[in-house]
Amino acid sequence: MLCEEKWWSNPCDNKNDGRYNDDISPDISNLNPILFKAHGLWKGSYEVYDENFNPAEPSPAIIGLFPVGPRPYAPIGEVFFNITIAGTRWEQHDIYVLGPAPQSFCDANPNIPGLPFSNVGDDGVCGENGSAVVADAFKTSTHEKNDILIGVSGTGRYLVDPSADPNFAWTMIPSGAEQLVEALSINNSRAVYAYTFSPSFNQLTLDFTRYVIEPEKLPEMRYRLVLKVERVEDESAWLESIEDSMIKHKVTANTMATYGTVPTTGQCAKNDVGCPTLEMWCDSGDASPLCGPTPYIEETTVNAGVVAGITVAVAAVVIAAVAYFMQALHKKKMAAEKERLKNEFARRIVGTFSVGSGGEAITMEKITEEFQRIDSGSEGGDGRISKAEMKNFITTSDSAGGQMKEGDFETLFALIDEDGDGDIDFAEFSAFMGHIKGNIDQQVDKFAEA
């Protein structure tokens, strides 16, 4: 709620803070144009790679766990996205059509009664039938009214249950004019996504990489998924493409009947623990009116001097005006300090970070490489950057010479460490790298001119 300044009121401390302005909407479409570009229907193909970037080999499914876990199917197939962005919510419903596994896999992995493994994921025949799996992903904007989306939960192949890890973190941010970057941290698993659009925004490449972090070890990549899709304007044609794909890959009638349709807004393709309740939406910070009013409220208050008398009121107004001016000056100075520290960090990053010319997308591989480089101190490889590790990076990476003041370092670390727990995890680091992409571009340009 925006405070109004009247001749009889106290100054509004948050007059220029958009979070307090009811005229600024928290809807996703209002935050950053690129966020809404994902809205719509998409179809295309996918390929799965192992940790060595070779096509992934099929693996027997774990009975009762599939589609989560190993997949006993070919590493290539077709994929269909239905992304609905309405108000503060991003609802994504996806269908993966899996190709049959090669016969050599079936021969090497016969089903043995009593063992919890199967060479198929449904009622099909190994080597003859493909299959289909579905997944949902839910994200929301918040009352912060910035361009960061917060992950709520996921179902099916994307199963994410926030209650399973108190340190769960999932964010999506824009990175340049044609890319979205997403980072997920839950238990010992880290996942990074890069959504890269074509200039027309009618093609989209999604690069997904999953890492596992073990104590006292560097993050290990487990698999990589690359999806290339194109926009489909006609819903009937999109649904027909799903049916044709299932027929082409010989998906069984039962699986087609179960997963051959896509849910509408407010529903889940897979009803499991990841299907969000209203409480889950609200706990994630959803700015929807369903979750209650904004916490950013500043009411107009009467200046006590008005009650005391005109003379006192005039004096109070003068004092309030001076106080307000000093507050505004302080805020402006703090904003400038934060921008200076972002540039300081970007300058050091450019010294070690393999970045291209201004405007190029920051890839997940580059962000991961830089995170691992910094996470190399006495606690190295634990998946969290400590203050000591960050200070070592700041000290040793300044090719221009000079040391960062202790106060500046503490402020910079706090900017990156969003949850304030004293360490920087991969999700926080990825989000900050997206925030300072413009600063990195400026430093790259300065370096090129030098």
pLDDT band at 443 (very low <50, low <70, confident <90, very high): confident
| 395-409 pLDDT, tens digit each | 886 554 457 888 888
Give pLDDT, residue 388. Answer: 87
Least confident range from 27-41, 103-117, 324-338, 355-369: namely: 324-338
Q: Is the pTM of this model over 0.85?
A: no
Give pLDDT, residue 357. Answer: 47
Task: State the average pLDDT over residues 418-425.
Answer: 84
| 90-134 pLDDT, tens digit each | 999 999 999 999 999 999 999 999 999 999 999 999 999 999 999
Give pLDDT, residue 442. Answer: 77
pLDDT band at 264 (very low <50, low <70, confident <90, very high): low
Three-state DSSP string of the chain:
CCCCCCCCECCCCCCCCHHHCCCCCCCHHHHCHHHHCCCEEEEEEEEEECCCCCECCCCCEECCCCCCCCCCCCCEEEEEEEEEEECCEEEEEEEEEECCCCHHHHHHCCCCCCCCEECCCCCCCCCCCCEEEEEEEEEECECCCCCCEEEEEEEECCCECHHHCCCCEEEEEECCCCEEEEEEEECCEEEEEEEEECCCCCEEEEEEEEEECCCCCCCEEEEEEEEEEEEECCHHHHHHHHHHHHHHCCCCHHHHHHHCCCCCCCCCCCCCCCCCCHHHHHHCCECCHHHCCCCCCCCCCECHHHHHCHHHHHHHHHHHHHHHHHHHHHHHHHHHHHHHHHHHHHHHHHHHCCCCCCCCCCCHHHHHHHHHHHCCCCCCCCCEECHHHHHHHHHHCCCCCCCCCHHHHHHHHHHHCCCCCCCEEHHHHHHHHHHCHHHHHHHHHHHHHC
pLDDT band at 322 (very low <50, low <70, confident <90, very high): very low
Task: State the average pLDDT over residues 217-242.
Answer: 90
Give pLDDT, residue 321. Answer: 46
The residue with greater pLDDT, 441 or 208, is 208
